[in-house]
Structure 1
Amino acid sequence: MDEKGKIKLLKWIANIGFVIICLIALFPIISLLISSFRPSADLMQDGISFSIDFSRLTLDNYTYIFTQASEYWTWYGNSLIISAVTIVTSLFFSSMVGYALAVYDFKGRNFFFILVLLILMVPFEILMLPLYQLMVSTQIIDTYLAVVLPLIVAPVAVFFFRQYALGLPKQLMDAARIDGSTEYGIFFKIMLPLMGPSLAAMAILQGLTSWNNFLWPLLVLRSNDMFTLPIGLATLLTPYGNNYDVLIAGSVMTIIPIMILFIIFQRYFVAGLTTGGVKG
């Protein structure tokens, strides 16, 4: 076999391997999707499984969600609002901080960057108690602000934007200053558009983190009308009864926003991650 034949064979082997890995990764999602069409009695008896009995499949679970489970859509709306606000505010403030640490030479710059790295290494569970006390003292418990406020400036996003901004052409900044542009104008009109791939990558990561966030909203949210989806779905499992029909079908519905977010930004996702990882 010649060299081209070996390369072609290796590509086929690699593709087959990737397909197998994808199928393994998709197995839980496929099982969840199939189980969402099974009657509640079957779910109580057999749990989530990959077996398919087409005669037993039904749309009753989704019909119940769309017609009777009003609380579910309240939780869904809360999660959408919190995730959207978190994405916008986190990208806005984190990109500004990361950009400043990358392009400006000011006293204490390295200290602040080291501080960001130290905070990045501290588990969030350690910070929850002082953050909770802060939320109580400011009297914003059981509000959207209490959930969003600790996530506005994410250390991982600051580090990522800083690494990406190190690769931006500084000549454009000098040219803009000569033309009389302000520093804010340089950032918003010139540099921020160039950081598009990094913004898209972090939008997916921050959106996924906020959408799946469970522990912190569980601490600061009190009323049922303010619950997010992870908390609301968890309340369906109690010692007095388990509403599996809403739980399984509702869990499938939670995948949709993340899929939409990834489809919108996926063309920039890989570019943003690779560039932000090698620059600097």
Structure 2
Amino acid sequence: MNHQRTKWTLSSVSLFVLFLLLSALLLLPLFAIILGSLKPSTELLRFGLNLNIDTAVMSFKNYISLFKDPFYFTWYKNSIMITVLFTVLSLLFSSMVGYGLAVYKFRLRNVIFALVLVVMMIPLEIIMLPLYKLMISLHLMDTLWGAFLPFVVAPLPIFFFRQYVSGLPKDFLDAARVDGCTEIGIFLRIMMPLMAPAFSSMAILQALGSWNNFLWPLIVLKSNEMLTLPIGLSTKLTPYGNNYDILIAGSVLAIIPILLFYIFFQKYFIEGMTAGGVKG
């Protein structure tokens, strides 16, 4: 018994040390970026990003210069607004579509689901021009709505929610219908709480994708006051590459919202991804 307990203890310690080393290895690039944000551009051009801690050249001047930019906090606000609106609307409408494909039996259901899978294989570059013309006709150019509205109902979250709902018990639905609950009430009051892990998992993925989105907002947004954070920071670069220090400092600050978002939802992330991937 003691031998078995010792064996389990050694295994636990070995796994702990292994994961600790892997975590440190994965955090080294982030640590290098944080150090780089405190160094002047000349140091970055000479030595690149490194783990050298040189207090003689390190300071918060990059962050001060960034905060002095009249549009920086506007870009930050735009990115937060787009990310929040996109994530909420995408989760709401995509979950409805996935729920409908998983629960209701109707003609062409399998055909619609097959089309969803086909659309997943189409890259953005192919549909970029039609979407651009659509934004012009809807007068959504250079607006926050135009930066995310075409992608609110996307095939990936539809597929994910459909797979997740397919693995949930359907007895609750029949009991709710017997009690006189409407279909909308069933979805809002019964299914949405059961889909909480799926919502958390997809919220992280959708928010991360929206926060880092660069290509489509670059096409739609034109004026400085409407730019998102990734595009706004890219305007800081010059042909001589003398603003990499400010760009790196802005990148460090851009990590904070997504990091907090992940910490808040990580409790359900693994559960939701695992269930959505194997059920159905």
With structure 2 as the length reference, what TM-score do the two structures score?
0.94
Q: Deviations over 1:84-134 (max 9, x none)?
A: 110000000000000000011111110111111111111222221221121
User: Quick one: which amino acid aligns to residue 154 of structure 1?
Assistant: A
CA distance in 2, matches of 1:178, 1:79: 45
Q: 1:126: which partner in 2?
A: 126
Q: Distance in 2 between matches of 1:15 and 1:277?
A: 27
| CA contact 1:143–1:221 (8 Å) conserved in 2 | yes
Query: How far did 1:3 drift?
Result: 5.0
- CA offsets 1:120-163 (integer angstroms, 9 cap, x no match): 11122222122112112222111111111121111110011001
Matched ranges for 1:251-270 at <5 A: 251-270=251-270
SS at match of 2:148: helix
Contact residue 164 and residue 277 of structure 1 kept, 8 A: yes
Partner of 1:187: 187
Matched, 1:202 2:208: no
Q: Is residue 249 from structure 1 mapped to residue 249 from structure 2 by the alignment?
A: yes
Q: Report the equivalent of 1:59.
A: 60
| Residue matched to 1:178 | 178
CA distance in structure 2 between the aligned counterparts of 1:106 and 1:225, rounded to whole angstroms: 47
- Rounded to whole Å, the distance in 2 between the matches of 1:242 and 1:98 is 48
**Contact kept? 1:38, 1:56, Cα under 8 Å:** yes
Q: Tell me what 1:49 maps to.
A: 50
Structure 1 position 15, deviation (Å) = 3.0
Q: Which runs of 5+ in 1 are unaligned?
A: none
Alpha-carbon deviation of 1:2?
5.0
Question: 2:13 corresponds to which letter in structure 1?
Answer: W
Aligned to 1:14: 15
The structural deviation recorded for 1:33 is 0.3
Deviation (angstroms), 1:167: 1.8
The one-letter amino acid paired with 2:80 is L
- Contact kept, 8 Å, 1:78 with 1:227, in 2: the verdict is yes
Question: Residue in 2 aligned with 1:239?
Answer: 239
User: What is the distance in 2 between the residues matched to 1:128 and 1:5?
Assistant: 60
Q: Is the 8 A contact 2:157 2:202 kept in 1?
A: yes
Q: How does 1:53-92 map to 2 (within 5 A)?
A: 53-66=54-67, 68-92=68-92
The question of whether the paired residues in 2 share the 8 Å contact of 1:86 and 1:152 is answered with yes
Q: Cα 1:2–1:208, aligned 2, differ >3 Å: closer, same or farther?
A: same
Matched, 1:33 2:34: yes
Instruction: Give the Cα separation in 2 of the matches to 1:219 and 1:158.
Output: 26
Q: Is the 8 A contact 2:40 2:57 kept in 1?
A: yes
User: Structure 1 residue 48: deviation in Å?
Assistant: 2.1
Name the residue aligned to 1:147: 147
Provide the rounded CA distance (Å) in 2 between the counterparts of 1:127 and 1:17. Answer: 45
Q: CA deviation at 1:6?
A: 4.4
**Displacement after TM superposition at 1:240 (Å):** 5.2
Aligned to 1:104: 104
Alpha-carbon displacement from aligned partner over 1:151-209 (angstroms, at most 9, x marks no partner): 11111100110011112221111111111110000000111111011001111000000
One-letter amino acid matched to 1:209? G
Q: Distance in 1 between matches of 2:102 and 2:30?
A: 40
Q: Is the 8 A contact 1:33 1:252 kept in 2?
A: yes
CA distance in 1, matches of 2:228, 2:240: 22
Q: Residue 112 of structure 1 aligns to which amino acid in structure 2?
A: I
Contact 2:36 2:245 in 1 (8 A): no
Superposed CA offset, 1:37-69 (max 9, x none): 123443344332221112322122222333x12
Q: Which amino acid in the other structure matches residue 86 of structure 1?
A: F
Matching residue of 2:223: 223
1:236, 1:242 within 8 Å by CA — same for their partners in 2? Answer: no
> Is the 1:102–1:165 Cα contact (8 Å) retained in structure 2?
yes
State whether residues 164 and 279 of structure 1, in contact with CA within 8 Å, keep that contact through their aligned partners in structure 2.
Answer: yes
Paired with 2:23 and 2:268, the residues of 1 have a C-alpha distance of: 21
What is the CA-CA distance between 1:5 and the residue it aligns to?
4.3
